[in-house]
Amino acid sequence: MSFEKLEIAISPCPNDTFIFGPLVLGWIKVPFRMEFYFEDIETLNRMALTGEVPVIKLSFAVLPEVAERYLVLPVGAALGRGVGPLLVARKPYTPAKVPELRVLLPGEHTTAHLLFRLAFPGATRKAFVPYHEIMPRLQDGEAEAGVIIHEGRFVFRDYGLYEILDLGAWWERETGLPIPLGGIFARRDLLPERLQVLTTAIRQSLELARERFEELYPFIAQKARELSREVIERHITTYVNDFTWDLGQEGRKVLKVLAEKVKPDAQILVWEEK
C-alpha cells in the first residue's frame, strides 16, 4: 500500500509536538510522506474554514462549522477535567463585573471564546489577539481581563494577574462532562485506508513519545515559546491523557453536547477504526 504525501497542520504547543514529534522526526515508517506545518490555534481554525489542509489540529469549538468538510479522529485530542481556559484580570473582579470589562481572547474560533461566550453572553467588549500576547498585554494595561489557554494557567500569577473564573470548571458544572478543547480533524474525502494508517501511526507516535521522551524533548522545547522544562512537562501531563489515546464514549458524547449548544443540525462524525 502506498500513498502520496499527506499535509498535516498542528500547533507548536508541547502537547501537539509530544504526540506528533516521533512522526515529524521520522521515527515511524508510514507508506506516504508527511509534510508538517506549525501554526497557532486560531490560524489553524481559520485554515479549516477553507478545507485547504487534509489533516489539521482544531479547537472543538469550530467543529460545527467544519463538520460538513471534516471528521474527527479518535486519537490526539485534548479533553479533560480541570484543564480549561481561565478568565484572569489585573484586579480581583467578581464574575458579575465581567460584562463591563474589556476582555482579550485568543481567537474568535477558539474553544476559549466559545466557553466565555456561553458563560458571559452579555459581554461584548472583546478583542482577539494571539494567545501568547494576552498576559503581557494585560500587564501593559491594554485591557482589564483576558482568557488564557495552554501553559498560561501555570504562570499567570507571575504576571500579577488574578483568576476570576475557571471556564473549564464552569463547563463541567453546567454539563457534568469534561472540557472539549481540541482534536485532530481529517477531511472527509480522505480514503478510509489512509485514515486507518494515520490513526495507527499517531498512536504509535504517542507510545514512542512516552518511551523516548528525553530524546524527543529538544524538539518539543524548540517549538515551545520560551517555556521552562517544568512548564513544558506540566503542559504535557495536563493535556495528554486517556482521551488523547482514544475519545471513548464520553468523549464522543461531549462533542455531541457541544454541537447542540452551537449548531444543533451539525452532522458530527468521528472516524471509527476497522
CATH of the domain at 44: 3.40.190.10
Range of the domain at 211: 6-80+179-262
36 in the same domain as 106: no
pLDDT at position 154 is: 84
Exposure b/e, 24-56, CB count within 10 A at least 16 = b: beeebebeeebeeebbbbbbbbebbeeeebbbb
Q: Identify the domain boundary among 129, 155, 175.
A: 175
Q: Cβ atoms within 10 A of the Cβ of 180, count?
A: 29
Residue 59 annotated as lining a ligand binding site = yes
Q: Are residues 169 and 188 in the same domain?
A: no
**261 labelled ligand-binding:** no
Q: Is 167 annotated among the ligand-binding residues?
A: no
111 is in an annotated binding site: yes
If asked whether residues 72 and 193 sit together in one domain, one would say yes
The residue among 123, 148, 175 that closes a domain is 175
- The 8-class DSSP code of residue 107 comes to -
- According to the model, what pLDDT value does residue 124 have? 94
pLDDT tens digit sequence for 227-262: 889 989 999 999 999 999 999 999 999 999 998 888
Using the 3D structure, point to which of 175, 195, 211 is the last residue of a domain. Answer: 175
Please tell me whether 43 is known to bind a ligand: no
Instruction: Say if residue 10 is in the same domain as residue 137.
Output: no
Same domain membership, residue 146 and residue 226? no
pLDDT band at 265 (very low <50, low <70, confident <90, very high): confident
SS3 assignment, position 115 = helix
pLDDT tens, residue by residue, 170-205: 999 999 999 999 999 999 999 999 999 999 999 999
Number of compact structural domains in the chain: 2
Could you report the per-residue pLDDT of 115-170, keeping only the tens digit for each?
999 999 999 999 999 888 999 999 999 999 999 988 788 889 999 999 999 999 99
Active-site residues, by number, are 150
